[in-house]
Each structure stands twice: as C-alpha cells, then as structure tokens.
C-alpha cells in the first residue's frame, strides 16, 4: 500500500495490462513513448488472437457501467478506464481468469468483514487492483500481500513482521487492517473515491489536491495528484467491470481444488509446526502452506493475540480434537512431542474426498439464502455450477460439494497402536511415500519427518529408540548422508 509509494509502482503493476493510449497526452514522457513500440511487438500475437474473443463494444461497456447497482464511486468511462478494461479482457486474459478463480477463496471472507463493519461490499474489488488477489504479491518498492501494505504502514495497523511471520500476507489480518485504513480515510474525506486515492497515495497528497483544486470531487482535482494516484480510481472501475461482467466476455475463472475452497479458519494461540498439522490431518504440506501464506518457516509461532489457521473443513475436526488432547488434564502430550510421525500420500484427485449432491431450487429462493442454508458461500455455488446469472428459477438443479467424511483424531497412548505407514521407495536423495500396500507383519515401520538439517548420524540421536545401523539399512544411505527439514526416514520398529 499506501503512503508515499513511488509513481513507478502503478506503471509497473499495469504495464502489461494497458496500452499507450491510456496515458493522457500531456502526461506522456519519452520513456513510455519509446516503450509503446516494444509493447506493441510483444502483444501483437495476442492482438491477432483477439478476434476469437467477444468483440469489445465500447457503447455496450459504457451502458453496463451505468447499470451497476450501488457503485462505490462515480463510474466514469475514459481512455484510462478503457485501457485497464481491455487489459483484463484482451491483453492479459489468462491472468484475469486466475484472478477470478481466487475470488472463491478470499471474497467470502472479505464480504463477512465488510458486512460486520457496515462498509460497502464493493470495496473488496480494491484487492484486485492491489494484488490480483495473490497474498504473496510483492511490489518493486516492498509492498506485500492482498492489500499491498508497506512495512511501516503495516506495523502501524497492527500487522506483525518478523522472522517467523509476515501478517501482511495473512488474508484475515491484512483485510482487517486495510478496512481500518479505508475507514479512517472515508471519515476524513467523506467520499470513497478520495478514500481510495488516499489509500494509494496517502491522505496528505489528497488534501493538497483538494486545496489546489478547491473541490472534493475526485474527477475535478484528479490532475493535481501524482500519475499513479489519479489512475488508481480508473483502475478500480476497470476491476469492478471485470468482476461484474466477466461472463458476458466469456472469461472463464480458473478455480482452485475443492480442498482450497471448502475451508474453515480457527484462531490458535500456541506453537504448531506444519509437519505436526500434516500428521494430524493427513494433508500434504503444500496444502497447509497455500492456505496459510503468512508463516515463513512452516511454523505457527506462539501468539497471545492469536494466529489464524485455515484448513480444509473436512480435516478441521481432527485438529480441534488434537488441541483438546493437549489440555493439561490429558496425558497424550508427551506422545506427540518426540515420537516418529506418519505421513499420508497426497491425494491426486481432490474430488475423491467430496460428495457431489444436487439441490433443487424452491420458489423464491436466492443464492444467498441457499448458501446460508447449506453453509457454503455464494461464490462456491457460482463456481461449482458455472452460473451465468445470479437469478434462479424454481426447480433449477444446483451441484453442491460437501466433504465425504470429517476426519477425527484419537490420541494414542502406546507406540504399538500407531497406524502403519505407507511403504516407501527411494527417489534420488529424498524418500517419497507410495500407495499403501499389505505389508509383511514381521516388518512394520514408522516414518519420521526430519525437523532440522543434518547428517543421518546426527538425526538418529533425535529419534527415540532408533539405532544408526537400522536406519542405514532401512533407508539405504550412508551415515554422512545430508538431510534437510521435510525429508522422510523409515524407522523399523522393534516387535
């Protein structure tokens, strides 16, 4: 975000979304005039393919903008807005499809926070302008996350940034901080267009523009703002148009797997490693990392104010069971601290974990009502059914996905009760779990996830009951073999 970002940032962010015609004649400089030719050469193949897309009818686009209900700002149409819209729909169409796919992950959460604060729902479109809904987005000047906070501004709004966590990447905490900032700007200026401009360029620049232009109308004082800031509201208008009318332009969202869509978020206060969560839930580490982008070392640090943990809804009961087992009045804690852990194979087909059901629309039902009844989101119903309209008809059939089963966790007090691990094979230097088969009862084994880098000889001392000769034989590697966190070791168990 936010304060005092250099003008180059907006040029960088939208360079491949726009053409030179979006720049007003009196603001073009030599660099961008020369670059226009290079951009044309780069995009020429795409322009030749544009005939496969629905035609861009400027008059229709203008009428659609006028038809948008409850707009956040005055939806003017000019060369700048046109450049951004065509960037989404023509020149950068594939990226637009990825952005639309991410809405199912983040928009329901944003809508919930906006509703609780009684703020306009269409503020969520600002995150599209800022980061293309990528929590890992980093600008050339160091702004990070869905809402592109600079380090100092992030800290001012309560976001932790240290060696373990960068809360600018936390979807929940960064959204709350962004809404705090926007609320403050709206209270100061009383206009959402000016609040958006202040979000980008800082309230000081907006105040000076108001003073110079003797007006609080963004479009009248726009020329007194830096280039990035005066183009910021047009960029927001283009993002709004994309979100409202992408279906009419046959832009197809690229939705993520169901395990990333059907999730639950829990606030936790203690220290947890992603490896331990993987053991408890059976999830691959990749899934935990994707859903929890703010943690730098695959560790959730202890935090008295709480950290947000997001997991697929189907496995959250297992994690809650685990937390319950760690209570002081339970005796299972010691078991999980030191013992080898089992690892499950990642499911290649996410839909195997879900049941496809059919819901028949009743008279007068809306998407919001159905979503509330089925405990899902409107965005999920749209994604699962490829709906072209929010209008529903009586008797219409909707596809609904729900977890096939909810994973539960039962603490085990004895090592011999630990479930069998999948059989393993050696690929290069790292052991990868294969599909479980019927193992020989005389050779049962555990799987240990390496926590710290080191040699096999050194790591052997960290595994209770393991001996170096048995590890060498079971894993077919020398004692000086170097291992890194996340590598897997077979640990034969003594019968």
**Is the pLDDT reported for residue 440 higher than 60?**
no
Residue carrying the six token digits 């809904």: 133
**Confidence class of residue 467 from pLDDT cuts 50, 70 and 90?**
confident
**Confidence class of residue 425 from pLDDT cuts 50, 70 and 90?**
very low
Q: Which two tokens stand for residue 148?
A: 């592109």
What percent of the chain lies above the pLDDT cut of 90? 62
Q: Which two tokens stand for residue 168?
A: 């600018």
What is the pLDDT at residue 1? 54
**Higher pLDDT residue, 469 or 393?**
393
CA pair distance 336, 464, nearest whole angstrom:
12
Considering only 130-139, 189-198, 424-433, which range has the smallest mean pLDDT? 424-433
CA pair distance 56, 302, nearest whole angstrom:
52
Q: Which of 245, 223, 198, 224 is nearest to 73 (CA)?
A: 198
**Confidence class of residue 27 from pLDDT cuts 50, 70 and 90?**
very low
Q: Which two tokens stand for residue 474?
A: 């079971």
Residue carrying the six token digits 């709206």: 186
What mean pLDDT do residues 328-341 have? 48
Beta bridge partners of 293: none
Helix axes 93-117, 171-189, angle to 10 degrees: 70
- Contact criterion met (CB below 8 Å) for 207 and 187: no
**Confidence class of residue 304 from pLDDT cuts 50, 70 and 90?**
very high
**Is the pLDDT reported for residue 330 higher than 70?**
no
Strands 445-449 and 488-492: antiparallel
Q: Which two tokens stand for residue 72?
A: 């956040």
**Confidence class of residue 469 from pLDDT cuts 50, 70 and 90?**
confident
Q: Which two tokens stand for residue 147?
A: 């809402």
Q: Which two tokens stand for residue 57?
A: 């009818």
- Beta-carbon contacts of 358 under 8 Å, excluding residues fewer than 6 positions away, are 397, 398, 399, 400
pLDDT tens-digit profile of 408-419?
Answer: 887 644 333 334
What is the pLDDT at residue 227? 94
What is the pLDDT at residue 493? 55
Three-class HEC string of 83-127 = HHHHHHHHHCHHHHHHHHHHHHHHHHHHHHHHHHHCCCHHHHHHH
pLDDT tens-digit profile of 362-402?
Answer: 999 999 999 999 999 999 999 999 998 889 999 999 999 99
pLDDT, mean over the chain:
82
Considering only 29-33, 235-239, 312-316, 363-367, which range has the smallest mean pLDDT? 29-33
pLDDT tens-digit profile of 215-250?
Answer: 999 999 999 999 999 999 999 999 999 999 999 999
pLDDT tens-digit profile of 56-113?
Answer: 999 999 999 999 999 999 999 999 999 999 999 999 999 999 999 999 999 999 999 9
Residue 482 backbone phi and psi in degrees, to 5: -85, 130
What is the pLDDT at residue 307? 98
- Contact criterion met (CB below 8 Å) for 171 and 307: no
What is the pLDDT at residue 484? 84
CA pair distance 173, 147, nearest whole angstrom:
10
**Higher pLDDT residue, 12 or 42?**
42
What is the pLDDT at residue 88? 97
CA pair distance 488, 493, nearest whole angstrom:
15
- Beta-carbon contacts of 36 under 8 Å, excluding residues fewer than 6 positions away, are 19, 20
**Higher pLDDT residue, 334 or 214?**
214
pTM for the model: 0.75
Domains of the chain: residue spans and CATH: 8-249 (1.10.530.10), 255-414 (3.10.350.10), 420-492 (no CATH)
What is the pLDDT at residue 489? 80
**Is the pLDDT reported for residue 42 higher than 90?**
no
Three-class HEC string of the chain = CCCCCCCHHHHHHHCCCCCHHHCCHHHCCHHHHHHHHHHHHHHHHHHHHHHHCCCCCHHHHHHHHHHCCCCCCCCCCCHHHHHHHHHHHHHCHHHHHHHHHHHHHHHHHHHHHHHHHCCCHHHHHHHHHHHCCCCCCECCCCCECCCCECHHHHHHCCCCECCCEEHHHCHHHHHHHHHHHHHHHHHHHCCHHHHHHHHHHCHHHHHHHHHHHCCCCHHHHHHHCCHHHHCHHHHHHHHHHHHHHCHHHCCCCCCCCHHHHCEEEEEECCCEEHHHHHHHHCCCHHHHHHHCCCECCCEECCCCCCEEEEEECCCHHHHHHHHHHCCCCCCCHHHHHHCCCCCCCCCCCHHHHEEEEEEECCCCCCHHHHHHHHCCCHHHHHHHHCCCCCCCCCCCEEEEEEECCCCCCCCCCCHHHCCCCCCEEEECCEEEECCCCCCCCCCCEEEEECCCCEEHHHHHCCCCCCCHHHHHHHHCCCCCCEECCCCEEEEECCC
Count of C-beta atoms within a 10 Å radius of residue 87:
24
What is the pLDDT at residue 426? 31
What percent of the chain lies above the pLDDT cut of 70? 76
Q: Which two tokens stand for residue 125?
A: 């479109």
**Is the pLDDT reported for residue 166 higher than 70?**
yes
What mean pLDDT do residues 299-314 have? 96
**Higher pLDDT residue, 38 or 405?**
405
**Is the pLDDT reported for residue 3 higher than 80?**
no
- Contact criterion met (CB below 8 Å) for 84 and 235: yes
Reported residue count of the chain is: 495
**Higher pLDDT residue, 203 or 5?**
203
Q: Which long-range contacts (CB under 8 A, 24 or more apart) does 44-49 make?
A: 46/90, 46/91, 47/90, 47/91
Cα 293 to chain centroid, rounded: 7
- Contact criterion met (CB below 8 Å) for 367 and 381: yes
What is the pLDDT at residue 349? 65
């Amino acid at each position: 975000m936010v304060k005092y970002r250099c003008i180059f940032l907006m040029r960088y962010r939208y360079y491949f979304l726009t053409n030179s015609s979006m720049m007003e004649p009196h603001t073009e400089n030599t660099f961008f005039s020369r670059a226009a030719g290079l951009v044309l050469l780069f995009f020429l193949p795409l322009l030749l393919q544009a005939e496969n897309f629905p035609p861009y009818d400027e008059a229709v686009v203008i009428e659609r903008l006028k038809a948008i209900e409850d707009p956040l700002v005055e939806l003017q149409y000019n060369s700048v807005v046109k450049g951004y819209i065509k960037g989404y729909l023509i020149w950068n169409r594939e990226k637009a499809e990825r952005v639309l796919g991410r809405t199912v992950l983040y928009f329901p959460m944003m809508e919930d926070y906006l509703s609780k604060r009684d703020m306009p729902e269409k503020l969520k479109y600002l995150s599209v302008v800022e980061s293309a809904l990528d929590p890992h987005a980093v600008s050339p000047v160091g702004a990070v996350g869905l809402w592109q906070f600079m380090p100092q501004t992030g800290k001012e709004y309560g976001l932790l940034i240290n060696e373990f966590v960068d809360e600018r990447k936390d979807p929940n905490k960064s959204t709350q901080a962004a809404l705090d900032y926007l609320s403050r700007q709206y209270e100061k200026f009383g206009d959402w267009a000016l609040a958006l401009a202040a979000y980008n360029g800082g309230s000081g620049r907006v105040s000076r523009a108001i003073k110079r232009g003797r007006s609080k109308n963004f479009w009248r004082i726009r020329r007194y703002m830096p280039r990035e800031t005066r183009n910021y509201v047009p960029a927001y208008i283009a993002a709004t148009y994309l979100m409202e009318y992408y279906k009419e332009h046959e832009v197809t969202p690229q939705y993520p797997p169901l395990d990333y869509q059907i999730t639950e978020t829990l606030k936790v206060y203690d220290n947890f490693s992603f490896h331990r969560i993987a053991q408890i839930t059976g999830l691959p580490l990749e899934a935990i990392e994707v859903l929890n982008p703010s943690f730098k070392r695959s560790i959730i640090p202890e935090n008295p104010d709480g950290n947000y943990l997001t997991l697929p809804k189907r496995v959250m009961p297992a994690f809650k069971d685990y937390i319950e087992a760690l209570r002081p009045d339970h005796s299972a804690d010691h078991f999980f601290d030191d013992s080898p852990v089992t690892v499950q194979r990642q499911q290649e087909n996410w839909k195997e974990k879900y049941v496809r059901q059919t819901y028949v629309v009743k008279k007068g039902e809306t998407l919001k009502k159905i979503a509330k009844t089925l405990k899902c989101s409107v965005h999920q119903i749209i994604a699962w059914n490829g709906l072209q309209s929010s209008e529903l008809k009586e008797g219409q059939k909707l596809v609904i996905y729900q977890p096939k089963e909810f994973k539960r966790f039962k603490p085990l007090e004895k090592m011999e009760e630990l479930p069998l691990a999948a059989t393993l094979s050696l690929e290069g230097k790292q052991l990868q779990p294969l599909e479980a088969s019927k193992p020989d009862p005389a050779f049962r084994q555990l799987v240990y996830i390496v926590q710290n880098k080191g040699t096999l000889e050194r790591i052997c001392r960290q595994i209770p009951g393991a001996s170096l000769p048995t590890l060498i034989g079971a894993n077919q590697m020398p004692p000086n073999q170097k291992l890194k966190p996340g590598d897997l070791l077979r640990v034969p168990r003594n019968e």
